[in-house]
Amino acid sequence: MGVIRLTAAQAVVRYLAAQMTSLDGTQVPLFAGVWAIFGHGNVAGLGEALWHAREALPTFRAHNEQAMTLAAIAYAKASNRRRMMACTTSIGPGALNMVTAAAVAHVNRLPVLLLPGDTFAGRLPDPVLQQVEHFGDPTVTANDCFRPVSRWFDRITRPEQLLTSLPRALQVLTDPAECGPVTLCLSQDVQAEAYDYPDAFFAETLRQTRRQAADPDELARAVDLLRKAERPLLVAGGGVLYSDAADTLRNFAERHRIPVAETQAGKGALPWNHPQNVGAVGVTGTEAANILARDADVILAVGTRLQDFTTGSRALLPGEAQLIQLNVAAFDAGKHSSAPLVGDARRTLQDLSDVLGDHTAPLAWQNRTAEVIAGWNAVVDRVTAASNADLPSDAQVLGAVNRQAQAEDVVVCAAGGLPGELHKLWRAPGPGSYHLEYGFSCMGYEIAGGLGVRMARPGGEVFVLVGDGSYLMLNSEVATSVMLGRKLVIVVLDNGGFGCINRLQQACGGAPFNNLFDHVDHRVDTAGVDFAAHARSLGATAEKIAGIADLEAALKRARASAGTYAIVIDTDPLVSTSEGGAWWDVAVPEVSERAQVRQAHAKYIKAFAHRKLV
């Protein structure tokens, strides 16, 4: 067996470039590239290695470390976890800027490889620039902050450690159940140290998706429950998309006439107008889905974590129904006193369907499904219709965007009130057309995430819907999208601050305070922000418009544009769609001088009593 002498940094780059995956029968590199912002902790080591490998492993330069990592995460999500990216930074603030994004990946079960530089393993120059010194433990560095938000964490202090750490990292990144962020901290002196690595370590390796079959006893129990069900409901989560199970789900729903509700991550698994699609479920759910959820006697949850927005903080799901949890991760399959069904979504749905045969839900339940779908579609038509209001609602804005969107387009959003409106109201034509980060609800994801989606899906338009609050938090990748020629259509909804939390604050009995700019103490500037001018300063074409009719026209101009295009519109901060929805557990103070808070607490206690604790 031959050896090749490489620095640790060169070994990392060569190993990553050798990893392959299969897309539609064609082998392509598993890593689509590396996002890099260089500093003294990685420029001489990884920077040099990446320069030599840039044909096999492209390097992309961003403007903010958190944003570039969010773009990498969005790329993996838009690729259904089949491809991914790596991100490298220096040792200090740059590294820590990735921690929030690592949490996004961890919560959403998405692969991203983080390669922050680290302090000197040899310690001779300590303390180096940007080093965080722990008074009682010299082995601790700033990068230890990644431990709770990494699925696999290692610190490379000798070049040969890569021989065991890199294979483990790739195992985690590509395992359907373990999938999440991996952090390999690369000591800056070790990046430059050489070692004689075996040639075989860099052999091209094909990483294929494991499709785990369900345990026969668990499968038999699930089949029995579904056969006996009078009012079955299926809840589709992100795992349906990650497993490429959308076609299998559609066949299952059509064959057995079982209605399908969608989580944020699962939305689009069925086209919005499919006769079994009852839409969003939970706190941001449709009346159709939530009515059936309350009435269901058996609920089959597929590929979902069943977080509180989906379950209505356990007051909506599972309710009185028997829950079956089909999930590739046993951790998720065992939640909420469910009947666990551990297995790959596509394979296990097909196995369930094969055993169920021609069994269908009762006709009365099928008729009820059709009735509630028709009722909700009428609501969507009404609340998203064009309006002449001076300050349109979020629903009216997204209605205009939805009318302009085509089948190959993607809508991207994340935090605030917009995800709730989109979950209820957006009519997604199919898998991949709806891209929301609502597991960690990370403000600032939107534009960076849109860039990652655009890199994964070069066809169609990528519509980024973002509030003024999120835009102000993280907008730097507007410039990156321009620099890289990756067009985005960005619609900035300016409601004068944090409108969503302002509404929640008042719903909990609180006075409007510190959310909208008009409610900020010590404010001296009342001019507001010229978002269109700001977007233009970053290289985008941008315009400020007024009203829905002007928005529809601007969206047509944006589609015709060759580059990133921003449209700014003022919206009403006080209005949201009242139809649909379910209770959400936000604790209200037991003691307050405000009567409104005391009244809200009384409602909270009443609602709390309906939740299912086990």
| Structural domain contains residue 338 | yes
Q: Which of 161, 181, 207 is the last residue of a domain?
A: 207
* Judgement on whether residues 260 and 296 belong to the same structural domain of the protein: yes
| Structural domain contains residue 54 | yes
Among residues 167, 207, 206, the alpha carbon closest in space to that of 184 is found at 167
- Per residue in 31-70, pLDDT (tens digit) is 999 999 999 999 999 999 999 999 999 999 999 999 999 9
| Structural domain contains residue 343 | yes
* Judgement on whether residues 361 and 415 belong to the same structural domain of the protein: no
* Judgement on whether residues 91 and 194 belong to the same structural domain of the protein: yes
Q: Identify the domain containing residue 401 by its residue range.
A: 384-570
DSSP state of 516: B
* Judgement on whether residues 281 and 394 belong to the same structural domain of the protein: no
Give the pTM.
0.97
- pLDDT number for residue 525: 79
Out of 85-99, 278-292, 526-540, least confident range: 526-540
* Judgement on whether residues 401 and 476 belong to the same structural domain of the protein: yes
| Structural domain contains residue 459 | yes
* Judgement on whether residues 367 and 455 belong to the same structural domain of the protein: no
Helices (H), 429-473: 445-456, 468-473
* Judgement on whether residues 360 and 502 belong to the same structural domain of the protein: no
* Judgement on whether residues 420 and 325 belong to the same structural domain of the protein: no
* Judgement on whether residues 161 and 50 belong to the same structural domain of the protein: yes
* Judgement on whether residues 232 and 262 belong to the same structural domain of the protein: yes
Q: Which of 207, 231, 253 is the last residue of a domain?
A: 207
Taking the CB of residue 529, how many other CB atoms lie within 10 A of it? 16
Are 365 and 231 a contacting pair, CB within 8 Å? yes
- Per residue in 452-491, pLDDT (tens digit) is 999 999 999 999 999 999 999 999 999 999 999 999 999 9
Identify the band that residue 614 occupies on the pLDDT scale cut at 50, 70 and 90: low
What is the average pLDDT across 303-323? 95
- pLDDT number for residue 261: 98
| Structural domain contains residue 593 | no
DSSP state of 511: P
- pLDDT number for residue 611: 78
What is the Cα–Cα distance from 297 to 602, expressed in whole angstroms? Answer: 30
Beta strand spans in 219-362 (E): 232-236, 260-262, 277-280, 298-302, 322-327, 339-342
- Residue 560: CATH number of its domain: 3.40.50.970
Task: State the total domains in the chain.
Answer: 3
Identify the band that residue 1 occupies on the pLDDT scale cut at 50, 70 and 90: confident
* Judgement on whether residues 31 and 144 belong to the same structural domain of the protein: yes
Q: Which of 155, 183, 207 is the last residue of a domain?
A: 207
| Structural domain contains residue 592 | no
- pLDDT number for residue 24: 85
* Judgement on whether residues 441 and 328 belong to the same structural domain of the protein: no
Rounded to a whole number of angstroms, the distance between the first and last alpha carbons of the chain is: 57
Are 340 and 330 a contacting pair, CB within 8 Å? yes
| Structural domain contains residue 600 | no
